[in-house]
Amino acid sequence: MATLEMEEHALRLQSCMYQYSRAIYRSVKDLIDPYADTESQLQSRREVLEACEQTVERLARDPLYFSKPDKALFQDIRRYFPITAQAQVAWAVTEGITAAVTFIEEQIEAGALDGGVARCRATTRKGKPCQRTPLPERDYCPSHQHLEASVAA
C-alpha cells in the first residue's frame, strides 16, 4: 500500500514539474522570431518546448547537481528569439526556473523526493537545512531535539 501512495505522489510531482516547463514555454512562445516563415516558426516552437521540458526534467531528476538551470535553458533557446526580445525571454526563464527550484527545494525539505524520508526541520550553523532524519513522530533529529522542547513550551 505504501508503494502505491509513493507512486501516486511521484506522479503528482511529475505533473507539477510538467506545469513549470509549460508555463515557461507559454510565456516565451509568442516571442519567437516573427519574421521567420511558418514552418520555421513551428520548428522553433517545438525545439523551445523540448528544451524547456528537458531542463525541467533534469532539474527534477537531479536538483542538487544542476548548477544554474535558468542560464542553461536560456543558452539553449536564445537563438530562436530576436535580440529585441531576449531580455524578456531571459526574465521569463529565470522566473519560471526559480519557481520550479523553490518547489523542488520544498519537496526535498519535506522528504518527498527522498523516498518519503523526512528531514529535520532545524538549520545548521551555516544556515542550511539539517540533513538528518528526525526521531520517530518528531520534527527534529537527535542533535536538535532540544528545539522541539522549547517550541512546545
Who has greater pLDDT, 145 or 99?
99
Say what percent of the chain tops pLDDT 70: 82
What is the value of pTM for the model shown? Answer: 0.67
The dihedral through the CA atoms of 49, 54, 60, 64 has a sign that is negative
Looking at residue 46, its pLDDT comes to: 96
pLDDT tens digit sequence for 13-70 = 777 788 999 999 999 999 999 899 999 999 999 999 999 999 998 888 777 778 899 9
- pLDDT range class, residue 1, cuts 50, 70, 90: very low
Which residue's entry shows cell 501512495? Answer: 5
Given a cut of 60, whether residue 6 has pLDDT beyond it is no
- pLDDT range class, residue 107, cuts 50, 70, 90: confident
CA atoms within 13 A on the CB side of 79: 8
Beta bridge partners of 129: 123
DSSP labels, 23-53: HHHHHHGGGS-TTS-HHHHHHHHHHHHHHHH
CA dist 28 and 99 (Å) reads 16
Count Cβ atoms below 10 Å from residue 140 Cβ, excluding itself: 19
